[in-house]
Structure formats: C-alpha cells, structure tokens
A and B are shown apart, each in its own frame.
Chain A
Amino acid sequence: MAEQTSAQLEVAKLLVDTLNLEDVAAEEIDPQAALFGDGLGLDSIDALEIALAISQKYGVQMQADDENTRNAFANLATLTDFILARATK
C-alpha cells in the first residue's frame, strides 16, 4: 500500500471515528483503495455521515450533482485532496 500523508491520516481517523469502524485501523486504510463497494464497503448512509463530519470539521459541503464530489469519494487520497482544496476551517 502507498504511504499515507499526514493529511490523509487525519481524514482516515475522521472516517474511522465517524463510522465506528472499530475493526479498521486508520493507519491501515490504503489511500488508493476504493472507499465504497469492494474496498471498505461503505454505503450511502456512510456517505451522508462522512459528508456531515467533513462539513463540521473542515467547513466543506459535499454535493452529489457535482462531479468533483463524486470523484472525491473514490478513495482516501481523492477525498483528502478534495477537502484540502476547499477547507475553510
């Protein structure tokens, strides 16, 4: 697995805390592995929880009809880049 950046680790910790992924360690989330479907196996309720946590922590709102948001949910690396580019907090 590719090495996590410190920003990616911070977002990984947010995912684990938000989603109660007790059986997943934040450090072990591969930045390039799919978050939904076969990867971490997240679903739409998770997406809603993640979006809420991100809006509260970073002041970034997700929008499904925005292609950037759809791409952001691909993996940890894309989600972190998306947040860093927009963070207001």
Chain B
Amino acid sequence: MAHCSVRLPALGNKIGTWRCKDFLGHVMRLAALLPESPCVINFCENRYLFTVGFCAAILKRQTTLLPQNRAEATQLNLADYGGGAYILHDGGVKVAEGIADVDINKLSLLGDPSDFIPDIDGDFLAAVAFTSGSTGQPKANLKPWRTLVESSLINAKLMLGDESQTYSALATVPAQHMWGLETSVLLAMFGNLCISDSKLLFPQDIRAALLKLDAPRLLISTPVHLRALVLSGLDMPPVDRVLCATAPLSTELAAHVERVFQATLIEIFGCSEVGSMACRRTAQEENWHLSRDLHFTPLSNGAGHEVKAAHLPESQILGDKIEWIGPREFRLLGRGDDMIEIAGKRGSIQEMNKILMSASGVRDGVVFLPDSSGEKVSRPVALVVADNISKESLTAHFAKYLDPVFIPRPLLFVASLPREENGKLVRSNLLSFFRQIKAAD
C-alpha cells in the first residue's frame, strides 16, 4: 500500500511496496509496543511511518493530536491535552524537555503479515487537528473515526473520479496537516491509491520520484510547490491527475501545470474544520462545485455560512465570502479576513500580533500581510516600536510559538505607527507607511 523510497532502519531498509497485510502486521506490532496514554502527538515525517503510527494509536484507543507546528511551546501546550500525550516521531524532531517520546525507527516492527482487520468504534475520537484560532488559542477540530471514514469515501469520489484504476501518488505536503491527512494518508486507506512515503521539496527530486511510479500517476500538492515545479523548466513525466489545495490557484498557473504534466488539475476548496468541500477544474472554470454531502446555510448576519453534513460531529461556521451561482455552484469572493495560509499551513494574524505584543520591550507594533503579488508567497510583515530588544531576540521569541513560515519578515523597527487619533490602525495607512519605509531604504 505504500511505496518506500527512504531508508527505514526499523522496517529493514525496505525499498518497494508494502501490501495491506504487511501494513497490518506493522500496525499490530507497533500497537503492542506503544506506551499507555490517552493521546499521542504524531510527528513522523515519513508518510508510511506516520500512517502506521496513526493506525496503531487507533487500535490502542489513543487520540492522535495533529499540531500546527513543532515549536517547543506547541509541544508543551499539548503535553497535557485530553489527559496527557507523548510524542511519536521518526527521529527528525527536537522533543521539548519533560515530554515522553517514542522513536518509531528504534523499534523492531518487521515480522509476519497479518490478516486481522480490527473493528473500530465509529464514535472514537481518532484525531484532533489543531488550527490557529482567532482568539490566539489553537482551535481543536475533532475528528471521530466515523468522520474520517465517511469523508474519505466522499473524497475518493470527488478527487479520484474513475474509481476502477489504482493511482500511484506522490504528495508534497506533510501528513500532519488536514490536506495531507485527507489525501496522502486517508485516501491511501479508503481509495485506490498507492502513496509514496516521501515528502519531497525540489522539482528535480519530485521529477525523479514521479518517474519511478507506475502510471496512472497522481500528484498531491499546493500552489507554492506547483509554481516551482512548472517554472523549473524540467521535463516532467505525464501525471494523470494533479490535486491542489490550501491557497487560491490562478487560472494561468493551473493551465501551465496541465500542460507541463499533461494532466487534469482539480483544485479543492476546504478547511480544517470541515475538510474538503468543493472542487473545480481551475484551468477551465471559475465556479466551484459543492460536494453533494454538504449543506450550506447563509448566516442571518451575512458573515458567512453554517455548514452541515451527516458525517460531521457538529455544524461549522465558515467565514469565507461566497456568491451562489446555482444550488450547488458558487464563486469564492474571499476568505475570512484573519487567517493566512502559507504552503498549507494556516496562521492567524491576530495570534501573531498577540505574540509580538507579549515580548518584553515591545511598546507598540503590528503584524500584517502586505498586498500579495501573484503566486509568490507573501509573508507577514512586522513593524515594531521597542526599547531594548534586538531583532534576533524578537525573532527567537516568535520562533517559540510559530511555524517558521509565519515568523514576520521583514521585521522592522520604527519610531511610531501611523495610528489615527482614536488609536485605530487603518490598513490603507499602514500599507502606504510600509511602502514609504521600503522606498526610503
């Protein structure tokens, strides 16, 4: 079920394809070795090891926690969640002091295959996906086993189309984020998908890995990675289907990807709370097609929609601005204001501002997203009024709480911010102030 291309000491440096019964054997053996605990934080970078760890935890009735990042403060915050958690990893993480950890690569998991298919309680809380909340506290999105199974069956129809063929898939996104979990982990379990265990970055590596996969191929990615792939100028092997999510994709880039890979590119619209919700063929159409199983009701205050579905444990509020074209067809006018997404990671600007203001020595300051230009990643910018704090120590302060992609850049010290008399910071003033500073530089 999984194609292994990296060295896995614990699984005997196996290079090749694991069958379902090999996988079940690995899961059973790992479940027997895991410590007793209500929850586990799964930081495995290798996608196969992540999946083995995820399923072994379910067998032990341990809830897998999926944090937004690996920062020390995040680990310490989650260590007591839901009665306590330990960290499962494959060697690539710096574990915060005082938290128990298990390195899956130090365990012996090889052995006989297994045909035992366990019965799993649908209401068991299999995973909690944490996202940045507007309050500054991470928001816990609960994923009972039933939700994961039923949404995966829906996703298989939405994303894979013809279900008779088995795709060989490669993903450029981590298993820990909802987009990566839904596709690279769960579609491999509930759809006709054989997934590579690697998480590749550079176009040359992705090309080499795709060449090793049997057709039909499937690529699971994001606009950031796809842009780098097509601009690299490398000849790419044909890919039947490209799935893209996490940030808006332009028609031009979508068409470029379809040409370079001779592929059909399906863009998915989703969020951590609900999962995948709608899709479109971006190169050919602007409108989104809502998944049959979801029901959107406009909120009476006009601030978004309530989303309901049989497979969701509770209804969710979606703040995105939507214009309906037909009963199940819509245009996306803009996402909720506070959240920004970089390479599949979601951050709250409000949370970044709270972190900035919590640094000692910072008198005033603001973190904001400047106007983005095209497909290039736009980073949050910080303007800071401070005494006695260096840029290095302020950056280190951010690094304790945030994923590196959200650490503001540039981080500039200023004498004061262009506040209105009532103390308000108007976005247009802030942007022109920022342009002046850049021009003066």
By Cβ-Cβ distance, the 9 closest A-B pairs, closest first, are A23-B410, A43-B404, A61-B204, A22-B410, A63-B204, A52-B228, A62-B202, A48-B228, A64-B205
16 inter-chain pairs at a CB distance below 8 angstroms, sorted by A residue, are A19-B409, A20-B409, A20-B410, A22-B410, A22-B441, A23-B409, A41-B399, A43-B404, A45-B343, A48-B224, A51-B202, A52-B232, A55-B233, A56-B231, A61-B204, A69-B202
Contact check: which of A21, A44, A52, A62 meets B410 at CB < 8 Å? A21
How distant is the Cα of A48 from the Cα of B208 in the complex, in angstroms?
16
The answer to whether A65 and B205 touch (CB under 8 A), given A43-B404, A45-B343, A56-B231, is: yes
Instruction: Give the interface residue-count category, chain A.
Output: 20 to 34
How distant is the Cα of A75 from the Cα of B269 in the complex, in angstroms?
38
Which A residues touch B405, using CB under 8 A? 43, 45
Number of interface residues of B (CB under 8 A): 31
The answer to whether A21 and B409 touch (CB under 8 A), given A45-B342, A65-B205, is: yes
On whether the beta carbons of A64 and B391 are closer than 8 Å, the reply is no
**Minimum distance in angstroms from B138 CB to a CB of chain A:** 20
**Interface status of A74 (Cβ within 8 A of chain B):** no
On whether the beta carbons of B404 and A55 are closer than 8 Å, the reply is no
**Interface status of B424 (Cβ within 8 A of chain A):** no
On whether the beta carbons of B407 and A41 are closer than 8 Å, the reply is yes
8 Å CB contacts to B: which residues of A34-64?
A: 41, 43-45, 47-49, 51-52, 55-56, 61-64
Which A residues touch B404, using CB under 8 A? 41, 43
**Minimum distance in angstroms from A16 CB to a CB of chain B:** 11
**Interface status of B350 (Cβ within 8 A of chain A):** no
Closest A residue to B408 using CB positions: A23
* Residues of B bordering A, CB below 8 Å: 200-205, 208, 224-225, 228, 231-234, 342-343, 376-377, 379, 391, 395, 399, 404-405, 407, 409-412, 438, 441
* Residues of A bordering B, CB below 8 Å: 19-24, 41, 43-45, 47-49, 51-52, 55-56, 61-65, 69
Q: Which of A44, A47, A69 has the most CB of B within 10 A?
A: A44
On whether the beta carbons of A63 and B411 are closer than 8 Å, the reply is no
Contact check: which of B201, B232, B410 meets A61 at CB < 8 Å? B232
**Minimum distance in angstroms from A82 CB to a CB of chain B:** 13
Majority SS of interface residues in chain B? mixed
How distant is the Cα of A6 from the Cα of B228 in the complex, in angstroms?
28
Contact check: which of B200, B225, B411 meets A23 at CB < 8 Å? B411
Closest B residue to A51 using CB positions: B202
**Minimum distance in angstroms from A57 CB to a CB of chain B:** 12
How distant is the Cα of A20 from the Cα of B370 in the complex, in angstroms?
12
On whether the beta carbons of A47 and B201 are closer than 8 Å, the reply is yes
Which A residues touch B399, using CB under 8 A? 41
How distant is the Cα of A50 from the Cα of B420 in the complex, in angstroms?
39
On whether the beta carbons of B202 and A63 are closer than 8 Å, the reply is yes
How distant is the Cα of A21 from the Cα of B381 in the complex, in angstroms?
11
**Minimum distance in angstroms from A56 CB to a CB of chain B:** 7
Which A residues touch B224, using CB under 8 A? 45, 48
On whether the beta carbons of B232 and A55 are closer than 8 Å, the reply is yes
Closest B residue to A36 using CB positions: B404
18 extra interface residue pairs, beta carbon distance < 8 Å, beyond A52-B232, A63-B205 = A23-B411, A41-B409, A43-B404, A44-B343, A45-B343, A45-B377, A48-B201, A48-B202, A52-B228, A55-B203, A55-B232, A56-B231, A56-B233, A61-B203, A62-B204, A63-B204, A65-B205, A69-B202
Closest A residue to B434 using CB positions: A22
On whether the beta carbons of B412 and A23 are closer than 8 Å, the reply is yes
How distant is the Cα of A47 from the Cα of B411 in the complex, in angstroms?
20
Which B residues touch A47, using CB under 8 A? 201-202
**Minimum distance in angstroms from A73 CB to a CB of chain B:** 11
On whether the beta carbons of B231 and A51 are closer than 8 Å, the reply is no
Q: Which of A23, A47, A63 has the most CB of B within 10 A?
A: A23
Closest A residue to B5 using CB positions: A65
How distant is the Cα of A32 from the Cα of B225 in the complex, in angstroms?
29
Closest A residue to B370 using CB positions: A20
